Amino acid sequence: MKITVIGAGNVGATAALRIAEKQLAREVVLIDIVEGIPQGKALDMYESGPVALFDTRVSGSNDYRDSADSDIILITAGLARKPGMSREDLLQKNATIIKEVTSQVMQYSKNPILIMVSNPLDVMTYVARQVSGLPEERVIGMAGVLDTARFRSFIAEELQVSMQDINAFVLGGHGDSMVPVVKYTNVAGIPITELMSMDKINAIVERTKNGGIEIVNHLKTGSAFYAPAASAVEMIESIVKDRKRILPCTTCLKGQFGIQNVFCGAPVKLGRKGVEQILEINLSEDELKALQQSAAIVEQNCRNLDALLLG
């Protein structure tokens, strides 16, 4: 198993280290355009192996040739959000970057699974699919896992219970239109509505939608990276180990939830082949409407980029 991480910033470097520590690959390659950064970070990670007890070979490069024959490629390259900037503000700039990155990696790997972390995530997943020409089940966006982790952590904080006992789904686009699904949220099987007032639930839903910008506002000069990296690695682990985890990920919907040919967050089964099944769960009328509205925003942003992709 060879995994390449594109982008040696905070998300990419943190993800590469987690992959190595979990020994999910025999080889991890960290690629970045800035000379010396991926080499230095990769060497530092590799030298932690005797202490952290892993044997994964970690290397850094500025040359996409070193990504050759990767089984999984994690794409974290692109500009990060700044205070006052929405994910959509990043649209054109990051689309240009992702188009170039995808073109490069596909020259050297025939049939990898691409996992997208760069924002706006759903649209960048679409860009990678269009440029790569890979089957749709092999191009996946990391969004719902992160948004759901935030939702679960806020519930655990409020109820003072273990995060491990909280089950939830956050669906839809990775942005202000995301849809935390209250109907399927429970604590050790107990519906969240039996443990918390709707006012409190709605407040946590709103905090979840703004979870990313809350961190951006604290950091001032950066954005979240620990939770995004952990979320991407959870997806990678399910694929590498063929665990067939049911996780909310960005995938191309083909009529599910009344959404056609749009990359949007939905519950999927993740295994060695990528997205092996999309689970069309029963949503309330309001949740279904919100999910469809979220998908419509993603679709419009994708249409806005079609000229760029054809150029």
- Residue 307 has a pLDDT of 73
Q: What is the mean pLDDT of the chain?
A: 94
- Give the domain-ending residue among 109, 141, 173: 141
Among residues 99, 152, 174, 209, the one annotated as catalytic is 174
In this predicted model, what pLDDT tens digit does every residue of 194-212 receive, in sequence order? 999 999 999 999 999 999 9
Q: Which residues of 216-227 are buried (b: 16+ CB within 10 A; e: fewer)?
A: beebeeebbbeb
Residues 71 and 182 in one domain: no
Cβ burial of 164 (10 Å; 0-12, 13-18, 19+) is: exposed
Q: With residue 141 as reference, give the H or E element that holds it.
A: strand 139-141
State how far the Cα of 264 lies from the Cα of 189, in Å rounded to an integer: 27
Bigger pLDDT: 143 vs 281: 281
Q: Which domain holds residue 251?
A: 144-310
What percent of the chain stands above pLDDT 90? 87
Residues 53 and 133 in one domain: yes
- Mark the binding-site residues, compressed into ranges: 7-12, 32, 81, 87, 94, 117-119, 150
Active-site residue, 218 included: no
In this predicted model, what pLDDT tens digit does every residue of 32-80 receive, in sequence order? 999 999 999 999 999 999 999 999 999 999 999 999 999 999 999 988 7
Average pLDDT of span 17-37: 98
- Mark the binding-site residues for NAD(+), compressed into ranges: 7-12, 32, 94, 117-119
Instruction: With a cut of 90, say whether residue 164 has pLDDT above it.
Output: yes
- Which residues lie across from 116 on neighbouring strands? 75, 141
Instruction: With a cut of 70, say whether residue 310 has pLDDT above it.
Output: no
CATH number at residue 183: 3.90.110.10
Q: What are phi and psi of 166, to 5 degrees?
A: -100, 125
Residue 183 contacts by C-beta under 8 Å, 6 or more apart in sequence? 283, 284, 287
State how far the Cα of 127 lies from the Cα of 305, in Å rounded to an integer: 8
Domain count, the chain: 2
- Mark the binding-site residues for substrate, compressed into ranges: 81, 87, 119, 150
Residues 59 and 118 in one domain: yes
- Other beta carbons less than 10 A from residue 82's beta carbon: 15
Q: Give pTM, 2 decimals.
A: 0.95
Residues 42 and 71 in one domain: yes
Instruction: With a cut of 90, say whether residue 88 has pLDDT above it.
Output: no
